[in-house]
């Protein structure tokens, strides 16, 4: 499949990054730290994309420790594991933030950097959902699925916003800044407090608030991790409405119809009708094999987001549909037959059943997703590098300020 058509390649040379960051933490704390301290640690020969990939390596290391100590997402780990997750995520955020500064000072800014940066962020989002679920001891169940939904929707809507407004807008509270810092604090606190089981205690009881009569038992018994999900839900709604407002205003200012932009959300909506439907019909996958399924769902989102970014860079029409949801359609249809037979009296037999073949189907979906998304990544990187005459992880033409200035003076 051709992801960038030949007639769209010239648009890559017109690319110019545009971003707005309203975060006070970023403006007064993080950016001075990055520009005055961190960036000096990287040599001029190091490519920006290599910095991004190196930072992602810390998250991969975190995930490997998760698979070793709590593959079911509900076991307490040694304190050093949680602390390493905090340090690894902070390093990832730091490396991810300074790659842009490195690109500007080495004169390597370009569309490949944005694609590479967003692509790595998309994969990291799924990994951090699993790490957070393990930290909170959410286990394999609906709480982890809800966390995945909120995280992927935030990332998808933000990319959808950037496509239509042509500007990456980060609000006063955003996932790449405050969201990641919050996770780092949660990981570090978990290490100090002795494990993820702490977050299953009642928040109000833990802080010493008596069980007054006017406080409903349901509210009083809410655990720390459940309150965190309430907070996450509020932030999700706020960010989604803010992005929708930005898109509507941008399209109206250009004289375009606003409802056309909303159709771009249907791809995400379709996937998230099928995902909970499949897990509801297959509780064995939900409670015993959720980790590979979460990877599959994350790659569905990463593939959609990657295509949106390519359309943004080449000024192409918004991509709709996603080939990776087709296996999920089959999975839901296959699992729906026995459910209908049991509850309605009419249905059809399942070809996969609810045992080993269903597990094999999930891993088949995951393998397909890895193959499709992997081919997409390789194809677009190869195409962009070939057209712009650059390399991905190394600097092909190092910037020489003396030569550049001398050339200008001679002219």
**Residues carrying an active site annotation:** 118
Query: Between 142-165 and 224-253, two packed helices, what is the crossing angle to 10 degrees?
Result: 20
How many other C-beta atoms lie within 10 A of the C-beta of residue 380?
Answer: 23
Q: Smallest Cα–Cα separation from 59: which of 147, 146, 121?
A: 121
DSSP output for 179-214? IHHHHHHHHHHHHHHTSGGGGGSBHHHHTT----TT
**Which neighbouring-strand residues pair with 333?**
none
384 CB-near residues (< 8 Å, 6+ apart): 4, 12, 111, 112, 115, 390
Burial 327-343 (b: 16+ CB within 10 A, else e): bbeebbebbbbbeeeee
Return the structure tokens found at 288. 């015993």
**Cβ atoms of residues 82 and 191 within 8 Å:** yes
DSSP, collapsed to helix, strand or coil, labels residue 307 as: helix
User: Strand locations in 218-296, DSSP E?
Assistant: none
The 8-class DSSP code of residue 137 comes to T
- Residue (of 315, 265, 363) closest to 9 by Cα position: 315
Q: How many CB atoms lie within 10 A of CB 30?
A: 18
SS3 75: coil
* Residue bearing tokens 């935030």: 154
């Amino acid at each position: 499949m051709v992801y960038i058509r030949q007639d769209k390649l010239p648009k890559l040379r017109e690319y110019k990054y545009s971003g707005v960051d309203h975060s006070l933490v970023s403006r007064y704390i993080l950016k001075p730290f990055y520009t005055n301290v961190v960036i000096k640690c990287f040599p001029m020969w190091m490519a920006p994309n290599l910095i991004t990939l190196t930072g992602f390596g810390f998250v991969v290391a975190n995930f490997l420790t998760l698979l070793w100590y709590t593959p079911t997402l509900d076991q307490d780990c040694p304190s050093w594991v949680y602390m390493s997750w905090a340090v690894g995520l902070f390093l990832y955020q730091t490396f991810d933030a300074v790659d842009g500064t490195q690109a500007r000072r080495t004169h390597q800014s370009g569309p490949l950097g944005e694609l590479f940066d967003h692509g790595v962020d998309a994969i990291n989002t799924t990994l951090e959902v699993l790490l957070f679920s393990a930290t909170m001891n959410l286990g394999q169940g609906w709480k982890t699925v809800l966390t995945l939904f909120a995280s992927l929707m935030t990332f998808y809507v933000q990319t959808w916003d950037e496509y239509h407004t042509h500007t990456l807008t980060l609000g006063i509270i955003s996932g790449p800044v405050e969201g990641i810092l919050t996770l780092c604090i949660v990981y570090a606190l978990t290490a100090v407090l002795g494990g993820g089981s702490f977050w299953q205690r009642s928040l109000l009881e833990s802080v010493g608030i008596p069980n007054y009569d006017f406080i409903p038992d349901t509210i009083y018994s809410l655990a720390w991790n459940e309150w965190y999900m309430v907070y996450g839900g509020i932030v999700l709604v706020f960010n989604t409405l803010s992005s929708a407002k930005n898109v509507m205003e941008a399209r109206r200012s250009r004289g375009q119809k606003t409802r056309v932009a909303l159709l771009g959300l249907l791809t995400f909506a379709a996937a998230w009708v099928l995902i909970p439907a499949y897990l509801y019909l297959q509780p064995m996958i939900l409670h015993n094999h959720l980790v590979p399924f979460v990877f599959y769902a994350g790659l569905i989102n990463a593939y959609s987001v990657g295509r949106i970014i390519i359309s943004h860079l080449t000024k192409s029409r918004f991509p709709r549909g996603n080939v990776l949801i087709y296996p999920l359609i089959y999975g839901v249809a296959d699992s729906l037959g026995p459910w209908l037979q049991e509850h309605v009296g009419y249905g059809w037999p399942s070809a996969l059943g609810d045992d080993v073949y269903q597990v094999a189907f999930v891993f088949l979906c995951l393998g397909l997703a890895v193959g499709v998304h992997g081919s997409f990544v390789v194809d677009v990187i190869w195409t962009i590098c070939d057209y712009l005459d650059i390399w991905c992880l190394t600097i092909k033409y190092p910037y020489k300020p003396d030569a550049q200035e001398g050339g200008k003076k001679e002219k």
